Structure 1
Amino acid sequence: MSNRLVHATVDLGRRRLALAAALGAGLAAWPAAARVRGEPVRRRASRPMMGTRVGVAVQGEDPRQLEAAIAAAYERMGALVRMMSHYEPASRVAAVNLAAGLQPVAIEPELMDVLLMARRMSRRSGGAFDVTIGSVGRWHFDARDPRMPEPGYIATHLADVDWRHLVLDQAAGTAYLQRRGMRIDPGGIAKLPILAAGLRTLRQHGVEQALVNGGGDIVAASGPAQRPWRVGIRDPRRPDRLLGALDVRDGFVASSGDYERFFVRGGRRYHHVLDPKTGYPARGPRGVTLVGSDLASVNGLGAAAMVLGAAEGHDLIRATPGVQALVAGSDGGLWIMPGLRERLLPATGIPS
């Protein structure tokens, strides 16, 4: 999770751009909606959440309806953050970690869904994604106060990183870590479902044209009579350059990269995508951008691909139905799947 807001873009770079309403790095292209009663009403908002800024952009006819929907969406997302954050001492995640090796803990259906997605991605990736990575200690990637676990602590607890020892009982609604000292950290897989929950709340309040963005992960929706959102795609090798734009009607644009949350120490860049085999940041591709319409297919896939490396990561993505990808390699190369390349448009009208 980065400390930037992108409200109609996937931002694959680090450069901050000055936009209206101080929205931070990103590119905004409001969709042109069909007129019904005059010009459409547009509202947007931004709040700190999940270690980044979460932005909401909506379009409709009634400003009061839009503002009430935005408030409800933030309330819903905030409740899920409090439930799933391993930094919150009163969260369900904290309760699961505290009871590791002792007893199962009752968890909410929303957290169960996230942990089930994590388990599926762990199985598909051969453990390249592992929600129990929290067992090696807490990393802090805030550039103002970067912290990392002691190497000795990582070495001692690395054996506790094993998704197979997280037991999920759907019938009982419980989660159980089998070894004392194990910890789950859903940070790599909870954000996108939380953003999706915010979008569902907007739609439940009658908003058809909406976009929710958090740290480069985007969830968008457009009504049947409305145009899609136009999303700018940055080149992760050149943060000041756009590769193009993408029209997104209903679905997800998710990005993972070594440029979003990181610090430099001893000449080495430490970023937030951790390798479960080492307990340290992955040394695979620099960035992965995924486009798809199914949350479970996209969620966690970018991080797994970064851990696996170019060849295995590409294979994993290609084996995922309905997902298109752009991968920036550590060697400076750029891999774009044909389906996504065909969808890329010139970034006309989007500021760079």
Structure 2
Amino acid sequence: MRIFSFKIITILFTCIAVLSFSQVQKSRAVTLMGSRFDITVVDSHEGKADKSIDLAIKEISRIEDLISEWKPETEISKVNKNAGIKSVKVSAEVLNLTEKALYFSEITDGAFDISIAALDKIWKFDDSMNEIPADSLIRKSIEKVGYQNIIIDRKNSTVFLKKPGMKIGFGSIGKGYAADAARELLKKNGVKGGIINASGDLSTWGNQADGSLWTIGINNPFKENIAEVLQFKEYSVTTSGSYEKFAEINGIRYSHIINPKTGMPSTGLTSVTVIGKDATSANGFSTSVMVLGKKKGIKLINNFPEFQYLLITDKGKIIKSKNFKNIYP
């Protein structure tokens, strides 16, 4: 088995730019939701820019305190603790995000499933595996996975997991949602431009301090160069892939992204980058396409022309949607 690590998304910008019309562009890197966030804002002066970044950090931390499955007092942790026991009242925000996740489960026939949080960890991506787990172990690993057993009561704002031992988690769309939420909050507070980059899942708005568009490079992990350069104002870009963690067994690359229906890692694609108006949805599509594979994944996302994609196969072939360059600025 071999494990490789590649950084797929590169953000290209000037860290601090002060122009004649007194706009400042400032960036800060922080660890939130267990990942690196790079927050950049364009504001009237440096002190205000710092406060805007602080506001974004506070908003992302607030979301983590709602949806983290690792913090014991979050709403999601309470839902998981009461699996098979009782419904748990949640905020409208958590209810809406859960419904969003279930929407992706339905349109992908379960290829996307937040109840994969209950998956038994039989696959290892630490250079210790040299053979595929037994079929019996794979079947057992997904016994508590199944979005059909996530029951939402909108009237009473509750979530119930029907099976004891079930869990839900928002690792697949949570960081994208946080990037969107921080962007919207800063826009409401008058911040004219910025970019919230949640470890490659990012949302932008406005312009850079010098008036130019945001420039984003999509790396090619096979050639270690830029596969595509994007420029736009307000869009979101997310990437899912096996470029950071995968197991290679008998010449086949097995991604750390697991198919919730089969318990098998996804194969065939190295990375999926999706561009759209919000990172939450783009995240849902990038994860789903990775699991579905090239043929089924493209068939799915082509039904949603407001989202564009760039796929890189395990053989290094780059596949772009028909209107990939027409979606922006």
Q: Above 0.5 in TM-score?
A: yes
Distance (whole Å) between structure 2 residues aligned to residue 82 and residue 140 of structure 1: 29
Distance (whole Å) between structure 2 residues aligned to residue 138 and residue 114 of structure 1: 25
C-alpha contact 2:24 2:44 (8 A) present in aligned 1: yes
C-alpha contact 1:136 1:153 (8 A) present in aligned 2: no
Distance (whole Å) between structure 2 residues aligned to residue 44 and residue 37 of structure 1: 19
Distance (whole Å) between structure 1 residues aligned to residue 269 and residue 287 of structure 2: 10
Amino acid at match of 1:319: N
Change (3 A) 1:29 1:218: same
Q: Which string of whole-angstrom CA distances, capped at 9 and with x for unpartnered residues, describes residues 31-60 of structure 1?
A: 99995624x312100111233200101112
C-alpha contact 1:69 1:201 (8 A) present in aligned 2: no
Change (3 A) 1:142 1:154: closer
C-alpha contact 2:67 2:74 (8 A) present in aligned 1: yes
Partner residue of 1:121?
Answer: 104
Distance (whole Å) between structure 2 residues aligned to residue 41 and residue 139 of structure 1: 49
Distance (whole Å) between structure 2 residues aligned to residue 95 and residue 144 of structure 1: 34
Unaligned regions of 5+ residues in structure 1, if any? Answer: 1-12, 17-24, 346-352
2:305 paired with 1:313: no
Matches within 5 A, 1:69-148: 69-137=52-120
Shift of 1:143: 6.1
Change (3 A) 1:337 1:270: closer
Partner residue of 1:279?
Answer: 263
Change (3 A) 1:88 1:43: same
SS class of match (1:207): coil
Aligned pairs, how many?
319
Change (3 A) 1:321 1:341: closer
C-alpha contact 1:30 1:229 (8 A) present in aligned 2: no
Shift of 1:237: 2.9
Distance (whole Å) between structure 2 residues aligned to residue 142 and residue 154 of structure 1: 16
Partner residue of 2:144?
Answer: 160
CA RMSD in angstroms, aligned pairs only: 3.2
C-alpha contact 1:297 1:320 (8 A) present in aligned 2: no
SS class of match (2:95): helix
2:31 paired with 1:48: yes
SS class of match (1:300): helix
Amino acid at match of 2:147: W
SS class of match (1:26): strand
Partner residue of 1:20?
Answer: none
C-alpha contact 1:32 1:227 (8 A) present in aligned 2: no
Matches within 5 A, 1:118-267: 118-137=101-120, 155-222=139-206, 226-238=211-223, 240-260=224-244, 262=245, 264=247
Shift of 1:110: 2.1
Unaligned regions of 5+ residues in structure 2, if any? Answer: none
Amino acid at match of 1:181: G
Matches within 5 A, 1:8-19: 14=6
Shift of 1:120: 0.6
Residue of 303, 314, 317 corresponding to 2:287: 303
SS class of match (1:188): coil
Distance (whole Å) between structure 2 residues aligned to residue 173 and residue 301 of structure 1: 26
Q: Which string of whole-angstrom CA distances, capped at 9 and with x for unpartnered residues, describes residues 118-166 of structure 1?
A: 11101111111011111223589896999xxx97765324132110110
C-alpha contact 1:246 1:343 (8 A) present in aligned 2: no
Distance (whole Å) between structure 2 residues aligned to residue 69 and residue 322 of structure 1: 30
How high is the TM-score relative to the length of structure 1?
0.80
Amino acid at match of 2:6: R
Divergent runs of 4+, >3 A: 30-36, 137-146, 150-155, 223-227, 263-272, 294-297, 341-345
Distance (whole Å) between structure 2 residues aligned to residue 44 and residue 71 of structure 1: 11
Amino acid at match of 2:172: G
Change (3 A) 1:339 1:177: same
Partner residue of 2:315?
Answer: 331
